[in-house]
Amino acid sequence: MKLLLHICCAPCSVACVKQLRSEGIEPTGFWYNPNIHPFTEYRARRNCLTDYAKSIGLELVMEDEYGLRPFVKAVCGDIDGRCGYCYACRLAETARYAAENGFDAFCTTLTVSPYQNTPLIFETGEKLARQYGVKFAPYDFSPHYREGQDEARALGLYMQKYCGCVFSEEDRYCKKKKKKAEAC
């Protein structure tokens, strides 16, 4: 199977690529993450993935688009519901690229994280598969999350502290602040 694997970051890709290769599938990685902010965070994740892909011999397609303004405009009316848009915009670009470049299917590393909404990711992937005429492979990589993260740390990969968008960074900050206040 010729599979296009949307990759959100190098640490999340570790377990996913390993699982696919164990099944005899050599994925092509696909970087498209205009949701990641600020630019320094975007650059750190992009560069880490580029280096990691080279180190494991993973072919990587880069759709290098830093999209602060379009992302914020798209989610500003429903910041708490932003994840649905985030999944849809990234998977739509992945499905489009897969369909236009002869891939049999596409999937995403987003499902490795226990913090993501895997049912919504699958629903979005299936909808986009129908729209673009390419199969969505509904891999749930989450059983391998911890081992992938441990391996990423051992490899010295850049480990981000939040999902990606500026609002998830704000959520992290608020939780940290609340936890500190509760400890006092």
Range of the domain at 9: 3-183
User: How does 95-106 read in b/e, with b if 16+ C-beta sit within 10 Å?
Assistant: bbbbbeeebebb
Q: Is the confidence at residue 177, as pLDDT, over 60?
A: no
Q: How confident is the model at residue 167 (pLDDT cuts 50, 70, 90)?
A: confident
Q: What is the pLDDT of residues 32-68, one digit of tens each?
A: 999 999 999 999 999 999 999 999 999 999 999 899 8
Domain tally for the chain?
A: 1
Q: Which residues of 111-132 are buried (b: 16+ CB within 10 A; e: fewer)?
A: bbbeebebeebbbbbeebbeeb
pLDDT score recorded for residue 168: 87
Q: Is the pLDDT of residue 111 over 60?
A: yes
DSSP 143: G
Q: Does residue 169 carry a pLDDT above 60?
A: yes
Q: Can you tell me the mean pLDDT for 81-102?
A: 96
Token digits for 137?
């492979």
* pLDDT given at position 89: 96
Residues in the chain: 184
**Residue 22 dihedral angles phi and psi, to the nearest 5°:** -65, -20
Predicted TM-score (pTM) of the model is 0.92
Please name the residue that has the structure tokens 């602060």.
68
Q: What is the pLDDT of residue 161?
A: 86
Lowest-pLDDT range, 74-83, 114-123, 166-175? 166-175
Per-residue pLDDT band for 172 (boundaries 50, 70, 90) equals confident
Q: What is the pLDDT of residue 179?
A: 62
Q: What distance in Å separates the CA atoms of residue 74 and residue 4, rounded to the nearest whole number?
A: 26
The CATH number linked to 7 is 3.40.50.620
Which SS3 state, helix, strand or coil, does residue 161 take? Answer: coil
Helix 118-132 and helix 82-100, axial crossing angle in degrees, nearest 10: 40
Q: Write out the two tokens for 115.
A: 């913090």
Q: Which amino acid is at 168?
A: S
What confidence score (pLDDT) does residue 107 get? 98
Reply yes or no on whether the pLDDT at 1 is more than 70. yes
68: exposed, middle or buried (C-beta count within 10 Å: 0-12, 13-18, 19+)? Answer: middle
